[in-house]
Structure 1
């Protein structure tokens, strides 16, 4: 990079438009959408789609709800031409879908374009020519009048050709290409001249597409350009203002949204922002942004995983894992504090299902785009108790008490650090099971167990404990089975352990009849948890005590003697 870029690059001079009103506007309804995946998205590929992939893409776009689909540039190649003929001849175009084609302003190309469309019910024919100062000087070596004459000639040829096919409902579209880098007055002048040819009416509108073919400034400047044009075009009620933003500055979504606020009616773009160079506007993101604000986008991405898979298949371009709304990881939290907030938010939604969606870090409900909650929280070495707790509860029916959440999250983090990988839900359960349910068995209760209650409410317990030192007979009393067992082991081994807290619940996943028990024990001025599961609640609680004691023995907090 050069030290002083101002010697090489010129700052774009924004129009001095003082009458702007768009900053006070809001997007309140969906625009007309046009997918250009089969044209822009196809032309940008190293290996363009063949007819089979084009058919799959077309069917996907129809399923997503697009009513206007640009199907190609039929005069550019036989593949494009044959694909369009296949759509028409095989009656693949739904009654409520209008196809669009692109052509340059040359007679033989226009004639070939119309040949490809014979028999179609409704079609948008899109013609364009570049109008910016750089293109006028460098590419065409034409002055303004010559550029305008080129646009008018194309409109005249298209209108004349359309009269040969009276059974088709024709709509005409014109783009002053490089609009974003062209004098506003000249873009308007050329567009007015084209409209003079087409003679649009409120019942038969012409589409004027105002492309940011190359992003040259910030999105607010593009919005000013759009509003200025909307305010100055003489047939506003007979014109559809369309946006076609590219992403050279990474601002295509923002430019489109501000352009809609500035008065535009229609958006052209591609799923996931495909297109030449940095791509076109990402229609999925624009539509889902509307959805997140309570606006029906009139497009359906409820099967987002299917959309992603089909687009990746047809284009051989992977969707980035952090792509808004669609990426594999966009509804996933690894950070401990984020996980905890999400877990609490999801719990709040479950408890209050009639409230608006307000879950920390999740702008929409993943379920709405066909994602399961299993992917929301994932655990690695950066994760905390929130993620661990969520996965065990949602997938395995293990509802950890708060202090056990803290204890086990440290165990899980140790494994994540050691293994250097993400811990899946199943792996996490395996770790919990090994640490608590199947703690290293220094002590093991042998059956049968003799438990009796006297008239004063005391519990008398007799059982045999299998230990490395041999079987030990336990005969103890307490105010319940847990208390009796603790009193018994203290007497047998000379320990001073006590139960601080006890929790249990029915297991909601897997073996639904089983109870899960948790005990928090005070051992040598430290607390340690045990956990167990069993069909019998009493047995589950006793096994949880043994789990805690076995863990304490393994960690050297107490010893058998």
Structure 2
């Protein structure tokens, strides 16, 4: 019986006793760190095989067909459609893809098979009539599985691979050719590099790949066991040492057990790999396969065309969730509900300024703080970029008011209104949707139900006793009663301020004023913002009217109603 040693403080087993560090490759002259990804790899989706086998409820025909069509529409040229020798369901789906799936001539269907004669025979039956299908054969080569599962030495494991390779080569020739081939030393990351190389070279020798029919050598992180840099070292070492390299396509098939599958794949491509197998959004055994959508969009944000169409991310998400019966988390890169959303006030302010700058900049380059990709490039909208809760700031509120309602709040009014929204979010402890923010703005500054004053109309004429001045007569409602007030000034605004000051017995003056149109066209409404000083207190008012002067006077009354609040 193994005696376990536990950490004295947290109760976990002593790591150095139960677990060991993954060995280094010792590649002192590695070249991959100084490289960058300049072109996309060959993509192969394994959603319908590797992804499907990991589902609680594996896909039926309809769910598979929906996923298959999506993969074709996205532009995948290689699609692993199943394990036809393992079940009648997979066999039947392979036949459907070939006979009814509408597979373009430039797309290769791929099927998986173990290195067992009876399964290989059944696999070729499933592929009859397919156009350049890929027969993907594998056997596990890891030290642990050799010892624990198979009870064989390296030569015994190599012989399994070689025998299968010979049988597949011969069956393909008898069938008239037209087949492509892929070999995986499964559990590559658990296999000593020299052993993986020996077995892979033995398979290469049998298959005799050519420039016209290259062999795919898939080097899977069947279980992610190390940091991504070590996986990259393994890939570069294999790329340097495999025989007939020019006629071998080196493929990656990373899983995500350590949560670094994306990084491992990107580093593996830097290390010389040509191809990537993965799934949409990373579905797969345990923590999943590598996420091809994230990989593709990572490349896109670096100026590299991934050759996959991710422009309708909502459709991709919908099909993924339907076919897999899984939900994508809100924070999943590029597709999650909240990934283009900022709640933080400082982030919102920066995004707001960035979005304004991008509209006025005369260049195509995307430069918006906190948004590495334009949401519209993947079919998302700007609606949810900024959402308001207790952590939000004036910039976020200003963005929503401008983008959703065409209301461009002056900076000081942003600060004042933000305090009002902050009060509501603190009291309710929830996010406020844009409609609620807009309604509160209108209630506070424009409609003002229950307020003392309301503007009705005005008339003005030149002051005969003072050239350049106007006499303004206005009608207002004060606590339900119509009143007439009169004042003088250099224009209608100044005259109305004078009239209202005398009526209320408060010294009012205009500190700042701005206005803009709310809609386009001849019947456009104007919105006016007034910053008013009322006996040392600053208040803001807003007016909306088809007449710009009336909107200005409404804004003054709006501010006057807020003096006592």
TM-score (norm 2): 0.95
User: Of 112, 126, 130, which residue of structure 1 is paired with 2:136?
Assistant: 126
Structure 1 residue 468 and structure 2 residue 469: aligned? no
Structure 2 vs 1, CA of residues 321 and 512 (structure 1 numbering), >3 Å: closer, same or farther?
farther
Structure 2 distance, partners of 1:307, 1:247, is 21
Structure 1 residue 101 and structure 2 residue 95: aligned? no
The residue that corresponds to 2:46 in the other structure is 36
The residue that corresponds to 2:68 in the other structure is 58
Residue 130 of structure 1 deviates from its aligned partner by 0.7
The residue that corresponds to 1:551 in the other structure is 562
Structure 2 distance, partners of 1:213, 1:520, is 65
The residue that corresponds to 1:145 in the other structure is 155
The residue that corresponds to 2:444 in the other structure is 435
User: Of 401, 404, 412, which residue of structure 1 is paired with 2:413?
Assistant: 404
User: Of 322, 335, 341, which residue of structure 2 is paired with 1:332?
Assistant: 341
Give CA deviations for 1:410-454 in whole Å, capped at 9, x if unaligned.
Answer: 11122222333222222111111101111243112234x222234
Residue 508 of structure 1 deviates from its aligned partner by 4.0
User: Of 157, 164, 175, which residue of structure 2 is paired with 1:165?
Assistant: 175
Structure 2 vs 1, CA of residues 511 and 109 (structure 1 numbering), >3 Å: closer, same or farther?
farther
Give CA deviations for 1:60-115 in whole Å, capped at 9, x if unaligned.
Answer: 01111111000010111111111111111115211221110000111111111111
The residue that corresponds to 2:228 in the other structure is 219
Structure 1 residue 506 and structure 2 residue 492: aligned? no
User: Of 522, 542, 546, which residue of structure 2 is paired with 1:531?
Assistant: 542
User: Of 298, 308, 312, which residue of structure 2 is paired with 1:303?
Assistant: 312
Between 350-359 and 208-217, report the one with greater CA deviation.
350-359
Q: Is the 8 A contact 1:506 1:512 kept in 2?
A: no
Q: Is the 8 A contact 2:204 2:243 kept in 1?
A: no
**Structure 1: runs of 5+ lacking an equivalent:** 556-561
Structure 2 distance, partners of 1:107, 1:141, is 20
Structure 1 distance, partners of 2:277, 2:463, is 81
Give CA deviations for 1:522-546 in whole Å, capped at 9, x if unaligned.
Answer: 1232211000111010110000001
The residue that corresponds to 1:182 in the other structure is 191
Residue 512 of structure 1 deviates from its aligned partner by 6.7
Structure 1 distance, partners of 2:535, 2:124, is 88
Structure 1 distance, partners of 2:32, 2:431, is 46
Structure 2 vs 1, CA of residues 355 and 94 (structure 1 numbering), >3 Å: closer, same or farther?
closer
TM-score (norm 1): 0.96
Structure 1 residue 8 and structure 2 residue 4: aligned? no
Structure 2 vs 1, CA of residues 407 and 136 (structure 1 numbering), >3 Å: closer, same or farther?
same
Residue 43 of structure 1 deviates from its aligned partner by 0.4
Structure 1 residue 257 and structure 2 residue 266: aligned? yes
Give CA deviations for 1:499-529 in whole Å, capped at 9, x if unaligned.
Answer: 1111111114799700000000112322110
Structure 2 distance, partners of 1:256, 1:509, is 51
The residue that corresponds to 1:540 in the other structure is 551
Structure 1 residue 516 and structure 2 residue 527: aligned? yes
Between 25-34 and 456-465, report the one with greater CA deviation.
456-465
Superposed, which structure 2 residues align to 1:262-341 within 5 Å?
A: 262-341=271-350
Structure 2 distance, partners of 1:79, 1:54, is 11
Q: Is the 8 A contact 2:523 2:546 kept in 1?
A: no
Structure 1 residue 199 and structure 2 residue 208: aligned? yes
Structure 2 vs 1, CA of residues 418 and 510 (structure 1 numbering), >3 Å: closer, same or farther?
farther
Q: Is the 8 A contact 2:139 2:185 kept in 1?
A: yes
The residue that corresponds to 1:247 in the other structure is 256
**Structure 2: runs of 5+ lacking an equivalent:** 1-10
Structure 1 residue 45 and structure 2 residue 52: aligned? no
Structure 2 vs 1, CA of residues 3 and 110 (structure 1 numbering), >3 Å: closer, same or farther?
closer
Structure 2 distance, partners of 1:346, 1:496, is 40
Paired positions, count? 552
Structure 1 distance, partners of 2:523, 2:339, is 32
Structure 2 distance, partners of 1:164, 1:427, is 71
Give CA deviations for 1:151-208 in whole Å, capped at 9, x if unaligned.
Answer: 0111112112222322x62111000111112111110100111111111112211000
Q: Is the 8 A contact 1:395 1:509 kept in 2?
A: no
